[in-house]
Chain A
Amino acid sequence: MARKLWFLVLLGLVAAGATPALALTSDDCLDCHNDPEMTTERNGEEVSLYVDGDKFQASVHADNGCTSCHEDAEVAGDEHPVPLAKVDCGNCHEAVAAVYEKSLHGKAVASGDEYAPRCYDCHTKHFILPATDKRSSTFNLRIPFTCGRCHKEGSAVTKTHDIPKKNILKNYSMSIHGEGLFRKGLVVTAVCTSCHTAHNVRSHTDPESTISRLNVVKTCMKCHANIEDAHIKIVRGELWEKAPHKVPACVECHSPHKARRVLYEDSMNDEFCMGCHGNKELTKIELDGTERSLYVDLSAFKHSIHKKKRIACVKCHVNVSHENNPVCKDSGKVDCSICHAEQAKLYEASTHGMLYLKGDPNAPTCTECHGTHDILPRRDPGSPIFARNVPDLCARCHREGEKAALRYTGTQHEIIKHYKMSIHGKGLAQSGLMVSATCTSCHTAHSMLPAKDPRSSVNRDRVIDTCAQCHLGIAEKFKTSIHSPLVTKTNKKLPVCIDCHTSHTIRRVDMASFRLLIIEECGNCHKHETETYFETYHGKASLLSGGERTAKCSDCHGSHDILPTYYTESRLSRKNVVETCRKCHPNSNRKFTGYLTHATHHDKEKYPYLYYTFWAMTSLLIGTFAFFGIHTLFWLPRSFRERFKRRRQHSREKLFK
């Protein structure tokens, strides 16, 4: 055991002796360079030669020693050449150096740009730390500051270089990515290098660039892997692959640094198009010989939503190409579905869309309702699809006598007129409530279908949900009522909103015309109850003028919360009925509610008392009239005779006088 130990010690000594006596250690260098006051003069300027030993010992290169980079310092004796040669990182980092060389930064160095960043500008010289180290200048959270040293607005680089994007740092810090970094502290958020890469920074016009139009989707998808699925509603997904030129790239909508839409300038910008189309005399002769103006009124486009979103002409008129002359030759109709894919899909399934696909010349297309160059957002009062303008927009075809009304075969007529007189129409036009329901609120904007179509929003089976968009509270109540299919399982037709309220002539429920309509509506199914209702006071009085005030079906039974009397919650249950009558009869009491509101004296089984009372009274009536009828009948001829007799008597008396 002891012999073995000795052998190991001996071996260690031999190994130490074998180390070249020449080799300089970092400590050797730091003997001098660790002095903060060590300086030298270079080109007339005092330059610090200080190296913080502690920091260097913490850096990734600590183990390599100073001379692994400063090779020419490896000299025997005390003096190394002054100044030392520039360190070439590429000696070790070959691959990175090759990439860097072709990048904007690398080329700038090659061209002698004094602002060109070198490795150490980003990585530091002696304090190089791994990117995962929080103290590192290349740690994710610190990258915007590192890049910002040069690219911060107002810096020398931004002033002397033509960088297309301005205020990069400021915009970035306000963007969703910047917010993630600075405010949420997310280390995985995208920083400068995530898109631009660390060493291969290139111009967006460079096809090799990660931010070129061709590659930017891929770049974004490094993080946003499933973004295609998320955009299926906005962009027709397959176009991304089949015809990428038609489809906007990520950055066209989501601006690179500020999540705003900024388009790449290219040769076919709007000014280029307006060069011809700004001319009022520009016309086109169609195949049938008609002349069509191709003038585009820019003042209309100026306020449009597409201008605001900075959509260039060619983003809609996608089929323009430099291969044609003029570039827009035979470019065809604009296909809105490229960007508005979901709306187009809905439209195609609607009556409007189906007619269009069938080639009906009357079928409205996107532009019929939305306009062309002057498209305004829905919330702009000037837009034809602004709530207040919708009825008039639809009326263009659906007013009585217009083309849509002419081909319509259903039961709804004068719909525009009726709508305008309805509570919704008055709410919109007179009360100025823009939340009032318009045509599209019920019929939808793009999926309008006839009510008989089960997919239609105004179909019987779906109309409750349609009304519930606004009248949610009512719909919730209704769903607990006996009329709801959730409560009553039946094959019979259950009433829905429009059965009582109608569709286009919806009125205030406290208006006479509505109150009188209730009975009729309920009577459609509850025939017997309605008939007997009219045999009692409430019903009879309701037939006369002013009769809207008497109790109607809904006053006693409730309307949306209607339930049969055997439900405790029913307004007519034993628990509630006294209170229900009290609404009109303040002194209502338990016995008072025993009044039979649907009584009939024709039902012997159900109401024997009434039946016998009625027949007793009727017998009395018949008896009296029978007796006096006969009495009168026999008296009549006798009375005539009596009258003539007296007249004769009178004339005889006169004669004798």
Chain B
Amino acid sequence: MEARQEYVQRFGIFPRILHFLVIISFLTLAVTGMSLKFAAQPWAEIVADVFGSFRVLGVLHRICAVITFIYFTLNLFLVYQNWIKSGKGLVEFLLDKDTTLIPLPQDAKDLVDTFKWFFGVGPQPRYGRWTYWEKFDYMAVFWGVAVIGSTGLCLWFPEQFTRVIPGYWLNIATIIHSDEALLASGFIFTIHFFNTHLRPEKFPMDPVIFTGVIPLDELIHERPREYEKLVADGKLEEIKCDPPPRWFVIVAHLFGLTALAIGLSLIIAIIYTMLFVYI
């Protein structure tokens, strides 16, 4: 083993807990929901049999819906906390090009440069703290929770909602809920998994979201703009830290790879169904 690598803190405990909640709830929601959406498939039957009954699936789905609403709220609280810490105005804070997760013009430029790099006609873009695909991931959850969450509530409390909305809107809500969920699962289990974990540079997974730390090398290499900013602000020393304990890395890998395996199995089943059963 080479000399002790230097590590820096990327995620605090709060966002890591939030992501953990996302994994737990999202995987459960996806597995239970997709089993109902694809109820006619043998794999869905197996899932229902394992859990005992579709009613168990329904209860788990609703519990995880509540977890989702909780992490959604906690995330807003986290944003609020960061805003207070930054000491800036709200708009200024939200559009701060170094820290914001809101896509900015720089991200469009990065996207174009990235494609150039893919084709070998330019160097790898010098990404900041959040790459454009990471920002997309984040915003997708925001959008997804809003859409799936609201339609899901309609389906959860149809008798109460139909005091206001017409009954057939429930049918529309069903389509939106399930297709948006298909989009979300499909995206997370393929695009997000690849971008973050499965692409050859990170394969089989990037444990940073569990350990919270990355080697300094990696920061310099992958997010040079953030590194430079940290150096310029003199904050690099502040976030330098010890490498994660070995047991924690192992646990993180076990957990992360399990989640990956579940997600991938589900998406393979879905893709198989869409390709060979529906078409």
Contact = CB atoms under 8 A, between A and B. Distances in A.
Contact of A642 (B36, B163, B167, B201): B201
13 contacts: A534-B39, A541-B54, A544-B48, A610-B171, A614-B175, A614-B179, A629-B191, A634-B115, A635-B118, A635-B199, A636-B199, A640-B200, A657-B2
A646 B201 contact: yes
Contacts of A654: 2
Kindly state the interface size class of chain B when it binds its partner: 35 or more
Main secondary structure on chain A at its contact with chain B? helix
B200 A547 contact: no
Contacts of A536: 171, 174
Interface string A621-636: 1001100110110111
B117 interface: yes
Interface stretch (A5-13, A49-57, A85-93, A591-599): A591-599
A436 B155 CA distance: 45
Contact of A639 (B37, B155, B201): B201
Contacts of A635: 114, 118, 194-195, 199
A634 B111 CA distance: 13
Interface of B: 2, 35-37, 39-40, 44-45, 48-49, 52-57, 114-115, 117-120, 124, 133, 155, 158-160, 162-163, 165-168, 170-172, 174-176, 179-180, 182-183, 186-187, 190-191, 194-195, 199-201, 203, 221
Given A536-B171, A547-B54, A609-B172, A628 B160 contact: no
Contacts of A115: none
A544 B176 CA distance: 22
Nearest to B56: A546
A617 B190 CA distance: 19
Contact of B52 (A541, A545, A629, A643): A545
A620 interface: yes
Q: Which 10 A-B pairs have the closest CB atoms?
A: A594-B167, A546-B53, A587-B159, A617-B179, A544-B48, A544-B54, A634-B118, A592-B162, A543-B39, A540-B39
Contacts, number: 148
B196 to A, nearest CB: 12
Given A589-B162, A631-B133, 20 more contacts: A534-B39, A537-B36, A540-B37, A543-B40, A545-B52, A585-B159, A589-B163, A591-B167, A592-B158, A594-B162, A594-B167, A595-B162, A596-B171, A617-B180, A620-B179, A621-B186, A624-B183, A632-B191, A634-B115, A635-B114
A596 B55 contact: no
A541 B183 contact: no
A544 B159 contact: no
A520 to B, nearest CB: 14
A642 B166 contact: no
A586 to B, nearest CB: 8
A544 B44 contact: yes
A595 B166 CA distance: 8
A588 interface: yes
Contacts of B174: 536-537
A654 B174 CA distance: 58
Nearest to B191: A628
B118 A625 contact: no
A545 to B, nearest CB: 5
Contacts of B167: 591-596
Contact of B48 (A546, A586, A591, A634): A546
A591 B191 CA distance: 40
A546 B54 contact: yes
A546 B171 contact: no
Contacts of A609: 168, 171-172
Contacts of A618: 179
